Amino acid sequence: MSAEHPQTSSARRHILLALKLAVSIVLLVVLFERLDVGQLWATARLASIPWLVVGVGAYVMGLLASTWRWHLLLHTQQVDVRRRWLFSSFMVASFFNNFLPSNIGGDVIRITDTAKPARSKTLAATVVLMDRGLGLMALVLVAALGASAESAVHPAAVPIWPMWLWVGFLAAAAASAPAVFAPVGFGRLLQPLTVFHQEWVGGRIATLMEVLGRFGSRPGSLARCFLTAVFVQGAMVVFYFAVAYALHLNVSLFDLAVIVPISFLVQMLPVSFGGFGVRELTFSIYFARIGQPREGGVLLSLVAQALIMLVSLTGAAIYVSRRRH
């Protein structure tokens, strides 16, 4: 089988990017045609700056906690990296995630920055994947807790049954536990992949098993990392709540504990540019379900994302500084 021509691969990426951009533009145009833009703008002008600052503070707390979690995961693998360096790397990754059409670029930055001290790209990549996995499980857990609480207040407004979220969380935990606590069996499942390149793939599988084995031998550290991931998702809910309060929107913390995690899950779908359009549509539908104006949902989504992108610009400055030195 011949390798794909680089020009063909590049053309395909550009076509996919154009399609994602088109989806985002179409969704936003359709949304704004159905909204009272004047009311939306009037609400935005009355925003409380101090409460927006509080929201940014909650978001930065989440970034610091995420850095601490990453540091602990690396420490579990006996990789010593300064938290200050990891925070700068996390900010650069955040910039790439928010200004590129895919968050893969941010993960590449994190893996590249830790591959040298880890002396292994496979180890660095596995740590980032573990970090991602814990974050995703925490996301589903917070959504399940929020949906369970919300179902008692607005049972018809919950966009997904809490039971489905709980089943998803427990299923993910049950599926990932054997890989961490019985890595030998997990390695056997991957052995068929060695047919592609026995020496190279076999070496990566061996390293992966060692990394998972070290994680499994430190369950206390993994538990702390998971609790930190839950804290990070909670901080994001508080961030959105502060932004909603700044915009004088009548939504509760429980309302946002449902929609914020779900919006994060929805925007992971590779169908839009940076989640734009899909994220705003999700907020719009949910606000209508809880009896709030759609304009409020769209405005909350846009303002919160604008603040996130503003903070992530710090990563651009760090990246430029790195390039100069």
For the chain, give every domain's residue range.
Answer: 6-185+218-324
Checking if the pLDDT of 47 tops 80, the result is: yes
The pair of structure tokens assigned to 38 is 């004047």
Single pTM value for the model: 0.88
Pair of tokens at residue 111: 């893996």
Which tens digits make up the pLDDT trace of 79-131?
999 999 999 999 999 999 888 766 667 889 999 999 999 988 989 999 999 99
How far is 211 from 125, CA to CA, in rounded Å? 10
Q: Is 4 exposed, middle or buried (0-12, 13-18, 19+ CB in 10 A)?
A: exposed
Give me the pLDDT at residue 1, please.
42
pLDDT at position 39 is 80
C-alpha to C-alpha distance for 278 and 284, rounded to whole angstroms: 10
Encoding tokens for residue 275? 């989640």
Q: For residues 250 and 96, what is the distance between their CA atoms, to the nearest angstrom?
A: 33
pLDDT at 317: 92
Question: What is the reported pLDDT for 9?
Answer: 67
Above 60 in pLDDT, residue 3? no
Q: Is 128 exposed, middle or buried (0-12, 13-18, 19+ CB in 10 A)?
A: buried
Rounded Cα distance between 53 and 160, Å, is 32
